Structure 1
């Protein structure tokens, strides 16, 4: 500010040049003390390289939250290395700090660890062949 006062702000929007990797404009929003913000925050799965069996699918990449400027998380890191085949991690399973309210549906799936499709397909095919032989 030109009068020498400082303010707490958040980045509201960033505009980049279409063909260059240059920032053209940054829009800031001034915050008042205690003001609640609604924003989306990225979800990062941690430990996926330790999942040895099954197919891990991340079905939700960000959470919508409401918080004040003092409690804004940069991302949510979710450990998935303890998941077993058939497990589903939901929004309700994510631990958030005090002062943060999650607005995303608590029943929404974040990550699913499913059995590999090839095993299921082979079993279905074998079952279908056995059924055909019995029918003949």
Structure 2
């Protein structure tokens, strides 16, 4: 199952003043968070540990990580079983994008203008942690 694809964003009504990579920032933020909290798929623990190290050491940005590792496509293979259950409940239903816009994009020309930097991630992360905690409590 494909949750998101950067080409869906930069291939549509996309700001002409931005590079295509800006269409991957929001998904990169979600994937980076998922990997860092242990919701990433086997790809990140088995096949791409050096890229995960770059993420943990913040020597790559979330969007760049997503583009390098997933070629701009977030699928169920990129997440663990638990990560997929959470993604279906949170990402797929649009709540993630609403939170992303509220936390990062409300004062910008568009959500695509959110910078792919760790400061953006650090602003968003508490909301993602909160959503996961709330979802986990309702799951079990």
Give me the TM-score of the superposition, normalised by structure 1: 0.24
Q: Which has the higher contact order (CA 8 A, sep 6+)?
A: 2
Structure in which a larger fraction of residues adopt strand: 1
Structure in which a larger fraction of residues adopt helix: 2
Give me the TM-score of the superposition, normalised by structure 2: 0.24
Task: Find the structure with the greater CA-based Rg.
Answer: 1
